[in-house]
């Protein structure tokens, strides 16, 4: 699997969905999630060199996201990708076990930086079941595991609708944040859709 294609695909999906993400954010946040992430990912894609090993690709993409995105999504997605890249180390190929370790590292990085746990109505609520589902299906190979992860992310994101936000700007709404899909969880679904798309190709 080509991790550069993963970031490119993620960027394409976010571009296509930017206005929906921004609208979700307007409902419970400040209305910049789609435009922000789109801007950051375009910069990340532009910074990628196809000759780099997987770990370096993800670390470069992560660093660029941190540098160019702003908001909370830049540091969070940027840290996730950097941590995932570090987990790959010098590996030249992406296998199911390696990707699993990278996804786990990404999740831990986000939880650490955002100080969020499951149930806070953040991207962690989509990421956690996605990583768990991936690990559960890792024995069946990359394509199957990434499809399971996408399914986990979708279910986790959907479950944020019923939650009251405890982190980020949505938390200021209190009970009024209930009934809205968390925009960070929504974009996390796109991250896993991109992964499943790219892993399914190879």
Partner 1 sequence: MKKLIDAVDDVVLDALRGMAAAHPSLRVDLDQRIIVRADAPRTGKVGLISGGGSGHEPLHGGFVGYGMLDAACPGEVFTSPVPDQILAATTAVSGGAGVVHIVKNYTGDVLNFQMAAELADDEDIEVIPVVIDDDVAVQDSTFTAGRRGTGATVFVEKIAGALAEADGAVADVAAVATEVNERSRSFGVALTACTVPAAGRPTFELGEDEIELGIGIHGEPGRERTKLRTATEIVDFSLSAINDDMPLSGSDVLVMVNGMGGTPLMELYGAYAAADKWLTGHGATVSRRLVGNYVTSLDMAGCMISVCRLTPRLAELWDAPVETPGLRWGR
Q: Can you give the binding site for partner 1, defined by CB under 8 A? A: 22-23, 26, 29-32, 35-36, 39, 66-76, 113-114, 164-169, 171-174, 176
Residue 198, exposed/middle/buried by CB under 10 A (0-12, 13-18, 19+)?
buried
Tokens of residue 55, six digits: 């770990």
**Minimum CB–partner distance for residue 202 and partner 1 (Å):** 33
Q: Which is nearer to partner 1, 113 or 143 (CB)?
A: 113
**Minimum CB–partner distance for residue 75 and partner 1 (Å):** 4
Q: Which is nearer to partner 1, 25 or 135 (CB)?
A: 25
**Minimum CB–partner distance for residue 17 and partner 1 (Å):** 15
CA dist., res. 56 & res. 93, Å (int): 12
Residue 106, exposed/middle/buried by CB under 10 A (0-12, 13-18, 19+)?
buried
Distance between terminal CA atoms of the chain?
6
**Minimum CB–partner distance for residue 109 and partner 1 (Å):** 12
**Minimum CB–partner distance for residue 59 and partner 1 (Å):** 15
CA dist., res. 3 & res. 106, Å (int): 14
The rounded Cα 85 to chain-centroid distance in angstroms is 13
Residue 47, exposed/middle/buried by CB under 10 A (0-12, 13-18, 19+)?
middle
Q: Which is nearer to partner 1, 69 or 187 (CB)?
A: 69
């Amino acid at each position: 699997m080509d991790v550069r294609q993963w970031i490119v695909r993620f960027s394409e999906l976010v571009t296509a969905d930017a206005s929906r993400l921004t609208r979700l954010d307007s409902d419970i946040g400040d209305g910049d999630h789609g435009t922000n992430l789109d801007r950051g990912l375009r910069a990340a894609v532009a910074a990628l060199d196809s000759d780099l090993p997987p770990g370096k690709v993800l670390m470069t993409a992560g660093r660029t996201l941190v540098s160019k995105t702003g908001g909370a999504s830049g540091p969070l997605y940027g840290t996730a990708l950097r941590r995932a890249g570090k987990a790959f180390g010098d590996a030249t190929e992406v296998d199911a076990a390696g990707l699993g370790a990278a996804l786990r590292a990404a999740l831990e990085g986000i939880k650490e930086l955002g100080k969020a746990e499951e149930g806070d109505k953040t991207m962690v609520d989509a990421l956690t079941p996605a990583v768990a589902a991936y690990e559960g299906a890792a024995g069946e190979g990359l394509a199957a595991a990434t499809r399971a992860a996408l399914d986990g992310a979708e279910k986790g994101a959907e479950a944020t609708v019923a939650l009251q936000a405890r982190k980020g700007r949505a938390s200021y709404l209190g009970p009024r944040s209930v009934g809205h899909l968390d925009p960070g969880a929504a974009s996390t679904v796109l991250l896993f859709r991109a992964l499943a798309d790219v892993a399914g190709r190879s």
